[in-house]
Structure 1
């Protein structure tokens, strides 16, 4: 399932400083997380879909890089994003 305009607007409002701040790292991580969860559900239904699996692995790598960037810039922002998205246990 693709990301709808309404969902993106909610994520931008929640994680961005303003409605137009779509490039903020926290916003991008939240959008990657949603896409990852959608692809995970797709792959559970279609386990032989290797092309989608590759896309999932690429998204996970992008999210990991973005989270490392946020962690290096500001550890408090990193912890806030991790807590809000429930990424770590």
Structure 2
């Protein structure tokens, strides 16, 4: 199930860097993380859904690329985002 418009606006409002920001790495990672969490829950109840598993792996790879970009270019923003999303333990 894709992100609803309301949920997307909520994520953008929470993670945006400035007032008109909709595409910063922080916002993109937050939206990907939400979608990854949804797909993870779906796969817990549908373990043989291999098409969704492939989509999940693609989303994880995209999030990993964005996080690597942030870590390389703006380490403090990266650390703040990881803490806010609770990605690293």
Match of 1:77?
77
Match of 1:37?
37
Using structure 1 for the length normalisation, give the TM-score. 0.94
Match of 1:6?
6
Point out where structure 1 has 5 or more consecutive residues left out of the alignment: none
Whole-Å separation in 1 of the counterparts to 2:2 and 2:58: 17
Point out where structure 2 has 5 or more consecutive residues left out of the alignment: none
Using structure 2 for the length normalisation, give the TM-score. 0.94
Whole-Å separation in 2 of the counterparts to 1:39 and 1:87: 16
Match of 1:55?
55
Match of 1:66?
66
Which of structure 1's runs of 4+ aligned residues deviate more than 4 A? none
Whole-Å separation in 1 of the counterparts to 2:40 and 2:3: 14
In the alignment, does 2:86 pair up with 1:86? yes
Q: CA deviation at 1:79?
A: 0.4
Q: CA deviation at 1:2?
A: 2.3
> Residue by residue, what CA displacement relative to the aligned partner does 1:20-49 show, whole Å, maximum 9, x if unpaired?
321100000000000000000010111001
